[in-house]
Structure 1
Amino acid sequence: MGYIFDFVAVDYFLLASFILVSLYWFSTSTFGYWKQRGIPYIKPIPIFGNIRLQVLGVKPVVLLNQDLYTELRQHGFGGFFQMKTPTLMVTDPELVERVMVKDFQHFYDRGISVDAHRDPLTSNLFFLEGRAWRDLRHKLTPTFSTGKLKAMFDQIGACSDKLVRYIEEGRHEPIDVCKVSGDFAFDVIASCAFGLQFDSDDPINAELRRIISSLTSPSAKALLKQMVFIFSPALANMIGLKVFPKTMDDLLINLVRSTIKYREDNNVKRSDFLQLMLNVRKKEESGRVDRMEEEAQPEDDVINQMTHAKVGDDGGTENKEEVLMSDAVMAANSLVFFLAGSDTVSNTISYVLLCLAQNPEVQDKVHAEITALTQQHGGKWSYQAVREMLYLEQVIQETVRLYPLVFQLLRVCTKSYRIPGTDVIIDKGTQVTVPVYSIHHDPNNYASPEKFDPERFEGNNFKPSGKYLPFGDGPRICIAMRFGVLEVKVVLARLISQFSVKLNNKTKTPLEFTNSPNSLIAKDGIWIDFVKRL
């Protein structure tokens, strides 16, 4: 009997040994990748590569990226491993500019493989690749022209006034501006995307907020899902993993359909995102899709020029089909409007208020500019008055340098690329990351990078470069950049005209960040005291 047990024990030992050896081999099988290509890299460890602290949730991704950047910065670029996936980090601003702009045709996809048939809400500008992305971008660019922004100005103003009233009612208590700015951003997008003004007890409002919150809030599940899509798309397809839950598919597609039906039945037209997509659909049905419906303004030209992306035939996508403006596509792009607008706008508002509270002399200067310009425009909140608030714009630019909307930009090499001035070849399919936060905080790029100094951006007007990437750069620059800036300027102008802001001691400084895979989110909120101006 003992012999049998010994035999079984040996079998289990051999099986366990085989599993461990196989796991070790599998997890380290790519670890010679960078050395074979003569590219500087950070030595990985089995299973985790260079992201052990990220996988275990010990260290926020943004700080892990900072550690990697510090080791690779001197080389201008270098390799590391996200588990077993070789990833190139670009640290040299000139090379960043090439990846994002000048040699964009080699890096035009984000490398997140999805199936739009299984996951219909991924038919949007964030997830689409190659020609499908280019064609959709081509159609949607007019949505954020100067004329369209002017048409949405009053809707943004109404939501701003609602926030001012809320703060007025509770101004004797410290307010977590991360929460209230998130509510404001949601209201703006609901109005400007769908023309909806939700009552607080509306069940659609509650469900939409719940799902948006679940998608934007950092969690181990969200991080794991993103890693599967980026590093193992075959596994994601095999297990039928979806980016967005079916409840979100049903809710948004039905919301689009019901809103369209109401407008058609009642002959209603609005100046919102949904109406502009409906206009595109009508043009598709008539066989013509014009890029611009109105005379272009000078400030529209930068985005328009970037949209003419060169997408080669040997790029990284098999999708050659045109993306038509179906109900699902309209829902998908409304969703990305919600996701991008909710998170980035609310974070930006929160961090600007933090910086103004910490720098009262800057706050006074912003208040003086707001007062002077509103008086010049007859005491009215006009589009032109807000547009002329250039110092406020500098404050926002410096804030998103310190606290960028996304702390890293992801790309994949879609066509093999020789790094200029070297013999190094980046293979097609290689993951590439641009560490925005680290570039923005590099003393080689900015003197005293931790200092809040809006004077850095006098006359810059949000112009991107290899050293400044809060909205990205190149053809994939955020299409709604000017809308987002307008939204932030309007609400901040309303708030600072009515209140002075002071930092409450409930705010933990220096800030700690959550383990969000892409966004800088303050771990314990940002608490502000709003003091009514006399």
Structure 2
Amino acid sequence: MVLLPITLALITLVLVWYFIGIYNENYWRKRGVVFYSKNKVLGPLWDFLVSPRPLFQVFGDLYQQYRHEPAIGLGHLLTPAMFVINQKNVQQVLSGDFQSFNHRGMESIEGDQLSDNITFMTGPRWKLMRSNMTPLFTANKLKNMYYIMDKSAQDFANYLKNNPKTRDGNLFETLMMFCNAAVCGAIFGIGSESIFDSPFLKVARGISQSNLSMKLKLVSFIVSPKLSSLLGLKFFKEYEEFFVKSIGEVLKRRDQENVKRHDFADIALAIQKNGTMRDRTTGYEIEPTTGILSAQALFFFAAGVEPCANAIYATLYLLSVHPEILEDVHQEIDKHFEKYNKNITYDVICEMEYTEKVLSEAMRMFPPIGFLTRQCVQDTVLPVGNIPVQKGTKIFTPIYDIHHDPELYPDPEVFDPERFSKDRRPNDDIYMPFGMGNRTCIGARYAKLQVQAGLVHVLRNFTVASKQTDEKVTFKHDSFNVRLKNVDVQLIPRNVK
């Protein structure tokens, strides 16, 4: 008798699963869109859960299989979802029709204080917070803030000199030390001398660690934030108390010191002192509590550590297997160190055009993220294929695959910094390491500048060699980012004065 209810429950579950799949398939076929039928209920998210491959590579299989389709329909429980492939349709989603696609497709989880950040905010809440955070990333602010990154990079180079064991093998963890130090300096005003073994570094490593639990959380979060809320899931639960307390202490100390450092704490303190944030057009308001400012700090922290460390890591790897390009980078860096008596400022970094081209090409080959998500907020139509898109439809768009498409980039697997020469530089609609449009990463310029600072000081003091034996790199399969896995790089001290 006990088995009967269990059997009935299983039969019911199978039938529900079956009919959801039929519904999803019919939904897209009626609209003239090819449907990915391998898994009709969860689509590529199911493939991600059951295969040892990162999600961007799962989408990459679809990109190759359906390369000349404008878009394909996906199973996504009962929510319409599609993977947009045609480059013009991608541009329409990310930039051209912002009024219809201004939702990231992921949103803050009720009860998860740190998820209420600018990445996951939507509608007027996102617009108001972005307008208040944007001043932190103007060219003038970055110029004033560069000294923090440069000091962190100098300290990191000295750390590498004094700790030879950190210079060999998988350098990702080592490079996280620099990125953690630079971000902590820019957000919390903490000096980098003591940051190489700090609570913040432990948090950074914890956030970047991926496992089955995080994989399930990610899928739940993408499929339905409401489901995540019902299940009581929190992405950053273990860091909530630490971050809120840390930001509170930083703001209190900064207020008492009355010192301007041109960093996040300055902006946050000014926002808090000005009181309620209010959009003059819509009347929407946000109270600048320590909690909500902590959520913004966590976003900048997470975005400034792992993705930046991986960008430096990928660039060093590519230089290690292209010694002729490495030599040109060394010459440019040495020239500027000698010209400016080792005083590397924001303006000097901007003069290093070849190094910037090298970094841009590295980020084409290994962008920080491999795909983007959006959600349609009003009925619209994609131009190529004349595809009707209903309000609420979840959209996935490729980045990695566009960057590696031979129809857009000749010989895409060849590392060629000259792609980014002034007369050859690709358009923004096919080069998008930080996304595209109004919802592109707000800290993109900061992140790139931080990576440049780290690269310049590392390569001033070290050359790089690779012990790579595999012909093709692989990626960490349970990471949300494009993170190299099987790459070993060795830093060898240079004889420079």
Secondary structure of 2:401 counterpart = helix
Alpha-carbon deviation of 1:439? 0.8
Q: Match for residue 128 of structure 2? A: 135
| Counterpart contact for 2:464–2:489, Cα < 8 Å | no
> Residues 531 and 377 of structure 1: is their aligned pair in 2 closer, same or farther, counting only changes over 3 Å?
closer
Comparing 401-410 with 24-33, which one deviates more in the overlay? 24-33
CA distance in 1 between counterparts of 2:461 and 2:373 reads 40
Aligned-pair identity in percent equals: 27
Alpha-carbon deviation of 1:216? 2.1
| Counterpart contact for 2:187–2:264, Cα < 8 Å | yes
TM-score between the two structures when normalised by the length of structure 1: 0.85
Secondary structure of 1:392 counterpart = helix
Secondary structure of 1:59 counterpart = coil
> Residues 65 and 15 of structure 1: is their aligned pair in 2 closer, same or farther, counting only changes over 3 Å?
closer
CA distance in 2 between counterparts of 1:532 and 1:385 reads 21
- In structure 2, runs of 5+ residues without a counterpart are none
Alpha-carbon deviation of 1:94? 1.8
Decide which of 176, 191, 195 is 1:197's aligned counterpart.
191
CA distance in 2 between counterparts of 1:202 and 1:424 reads 52
Say whether residues 1:81 and 2:75 are aligned partners: yes
Q: Match for residue 126 of structure 1? A: 119
Decide which of 150, 175, 190 is 1:157's aligned counterpart.
150
Q: Match for residue 489 of structure 2? A: 527
Alignment: residue pair count: 495
| Counterpart contact for 1:408–1:434, Cα < 8 Å | yes
Alpha-carbon deviation of 1:175? 4.2
Q: Match for residue 405 of structure 2? A: 442
| Counterpart contact for 2:311–2:451, Cα < 8 Å | yes
Matches within 5 A, 1:22-171: 22-26=16-20, 28-45=22-39, 48-82=42-76, 85-115=79-109, 118-171=111-164
TM-score between the two structures when normalised by the length of structure 2: 0.91
> Residues 164 and 11 of structure 1: is their aligned pair in 2 closer, same or farther, counting only changes over 3 Å?
closer
| Counterpart contact for 2:320–2:464, Cα < 8 Å | yes
Alpha-carbon deviation of 1:323? 2.6
Deviations 1:117-143 (A, max 9, x none): x12212221010011111111111111
| Counterpart contact for 2:42–2:74, Cα < 8 Å | no
| Counterpart contact for 2:54–2:480, Cα < 8 Å | no
CA distance in 2 between counterparts of 1:197 and 1:39 reads 55
Deviations 1:71-103 (A, max 9, x none): 222012222224665421122222222111121
Say whether residues 1:396 and 2:359 are aligned partners: yes
Deviations 1:246-291 (A, max 9, x none): x422111111111222223333332211112212333346x8999x
Which one-letter code corresponds to 1:105 in the other structure? Answer: Q
Decide which of 360, 363, 367 is 2:323's aligned counterpart.
360
Matches within 5 A, 1:55-454: 55-82=49-76, 85-115=79-109, 118-171=111-164, 174-197=168-191, 205-206=198-199, 208-245=200-237, 247-284=238-275, 321-420=284-383, 422-454=385-417
Alpha-carbon deviation of 1:104? 0.9
- In structure 1, runs of 5+ residues without a counterpart are 1-6, 291-310, 314-319
CA distance in 2 between counterparts of 1:183 and 1:142 reads 27
Secondary structure of 2:396 counterpart = strand
Alpha-carbon deviation of 1:14? 5.3
| Counterpart contact for 2:181–2:196, Cα < 8 Å | no
| Counterpart contact for 2:181–2:195, Cα < 8 Å | no
> Residues 381 and 200 of structure 1: is their aligned pair in 2 closer, same or farther, counting only changes over 3 Å?
closer
> Residues 417 and 522 of structure 1: is their aligned pair in 2 closer, same or farther, counting only changes over 3 Å?
same
CA distance in 1 between counterparts of 2:55 and 2:426 reads 27
Alpha-carbon deviation of 1:228? 1.2
Please give the root-mean-square deviation of Cα atoms over the aligned residues, in Å: 2.8
Say whether residues 1:473 and 2:436 are aligned partners: yes
Secondary structure of 2:25 counterpart = coil
Structure of higher CA gyration radius: 1
CA distance in 2 between counterparts of 1:257 and 1:185 reads 22
CA distance in 1 between counterparts of 2:372 and 2:348 reads 33
Q: Match for residue 20 of structure 1? A: 14
CA distance in 2 between counterparts of 1:375 and 1:387 reads 16
Which one-letter code corresponds to 1:283 in the other structure? Answer: N
| Counterpart contact for 1:90–1:434, Cα < 8 Å | yes
CA distance in 2 between counterparts of 1:217 and 1:185 reads 16
